[in-house]
Chains A and B, each alone.
Chain A
Amino acid sequence: MLKLWYGNLNASVRIVRLMFWEMEVDVAEERVDLQDGKIPAILERLNIWRLPTLQIPEAPGFLYLPPDMAEYLSKQAPPERRLVPWEAESGFQVRRWCQYVARLVGSPLNDWHRGQSTGPASWLESSLSTLEAKLGDEVYLVDERFSLADCVLGVCLMHYQQRVELTPRYPALSAYLQRLMQRPSFGRL
């Protein structure tokens, strides 16, 4: 059985939940309140743990990095529901764009949100422009099929749009986000 241990409802948890819903995986969830100092014994026994952590029935038993969770779940899922393709090239492209979005959109947005900067990094707009150009008329970010990269970018764009409207500067990204929001999984967020 799969179980997700999580703390605050942050971007990582949202992305992980999107994975479960998109791949139609049943996962039990348990919230851990670190404020009261009570860490579940099952997590305390681990060499490495953090939140969110996904407990899985086989070795290594626990996964704590969202890309690991995505690839593990994709192994179990039928081909049409895999968020990370098994094929070397398409799998690489998904991983590559996940990294790009996480580091060059997600990170500066987080810094801005946490007050570590007075505004978004000056280069955030450049990253969004790159994604705008890459997306163009395409439906999804990689190979015309929904993937983990769309989960990551979708959550980032939702975060961005809480502060700044995507249109008129990023019409392709705006239309893309509207498409994503039509997906039942995004509607549940």
Chain B
Amino acid sequence: MSLELWFEPLGISSQVAALGLLECGADFCAHDLQRVPESERQAFIKIWPSAQLPVLIDKTWDELLFGGVVIAEYATVYRGSPSQLLSAEACEAFETRRWGRLIGNGVAWPMFHFSHKKLGLPGEAQVGDLEIQRARRLLVETLPVLEERLNGALWIMGRDFSLADCVGGPSLLACEAQQELDDYPNLRAYLDRCWQRPAFLQMLRLVGDQFLRYSEYPAEGNARLVLSPPVLQRMREARVISPREKLRRPGE
């Protein structure tokens, strides 16, 4: 297969990349860097020493691309049909990317920090209290803007699903999973529509069992919350996670 996606299943950026590829109908092979054989892991790190993810290797064009939105845009420009996720009209394309960046900066980035703090995952740097405060402020500022944007609109850019929704879907799923959307009915309705998209479910099936690995709710002792019970139930109903699969404690 000419496309290889190296990703971190619980990472929003990785989910954005996967969703972009799936929405464009691109065939790719997904590798979880933490779960491949050690020899493959070392081979990857040799060509990508930072080990920051996601990364897409396109063997056809000898390209190595980094970043969720970059990969999603690459999929639409080079692998998708014209105007699939981005309008051909320059002004509208700019607005799509602008909303994508707003969501990435104001929702995905804060949720990334909350998750890393709660899960104690190694990150680019230790997540301190100041970073958490800043993340909280960003989220509180951005969610109302999105709520207003989606008042009467199907998708971020109106009628059609776009690159901005490739960022919006995974970012807001992370919010819903940690019960941040209780006061935002438009955002919850938007997420319901995301759940109806085949590509969104395919993306979740790529990562589903990793949610189980880290889920433990209600939190006990060292909080390691990833999914709230309603979201976990929805994943079981959508067969993203097997109904019979039991929660595993971290480390199992």
Determine the chain B residues whose CB is within 8 A of the CB of A99 once the complex forms.
Answer: 66-67, 69-70
Determine the chain B residues whose CB is within 8 A of the CB of A107 once the complex forms.
Answer: 124
Encode contact with B along A84-106: 1 for CB under 8 Å, 0 otherwise: 00101100100110011001100
A71–B94 touching, CB < 8 Å: yes
- Report the minimum CB–CB distance from B96 to chain A (whole Å): 11
Q: Is A72 interfacial (CB-CB < 8 Å)?
A: yes
Determine the chain A residues whose CB is within 8 A of the CB of B52 once the complex forms.
Answer: 103-104
A111–B125 touching, CB < 8 Å: yes
Residue of B nearest to A89 (CB): B77
Give the CA-CA distance A100 to B71 in the complex, in Å.
12
Encode contact with B along A119-130: 1 for CB under 8 Å, 0 otherwise: 001110011000
Residue of B nearest to A88 (CB): B77
Give the CA-CA distance A94 to B102 in the complex, in Å.
19
User: By DSSP majority rule, is chain B's interface helix, strand, loop, or mixed?
Assistant: helix
Residue of B nearest to A107 (CB): B124
B86–A88 touching, CB < 8 Å: yes
Q: Is A47 interfacial (CB-CB < 8 Å)?
A: yes
A96–B124 touching, CB < 8 Å: no
Determine the chain B residues whose CB is within 8 A of the CB of A100 once the complex forms.
Answer: 66-67
B65–A96 touching, CB < 8 Å: yes
A-B residue pairs in contact (CB < 8 Å), sample of 19: A48-B142, A48-B145, A71-B94, A71-B98, A72-B94, A88-B86, A89-B77, A92-B74, A96-B65, A96-B73, A96-B74, A99-B69, A99-B70, A100-B67, A104-B50, A107-B124, A111-B124, A122-B49, A123-B49
Which 8 residue pairs of A and B lie closest in terms of their CB atoms, listed nearest first?
A123-B49, A123-B50, A126-B49, A86-B90, A48-B141, A99-B67, A71-B94, A92-B77
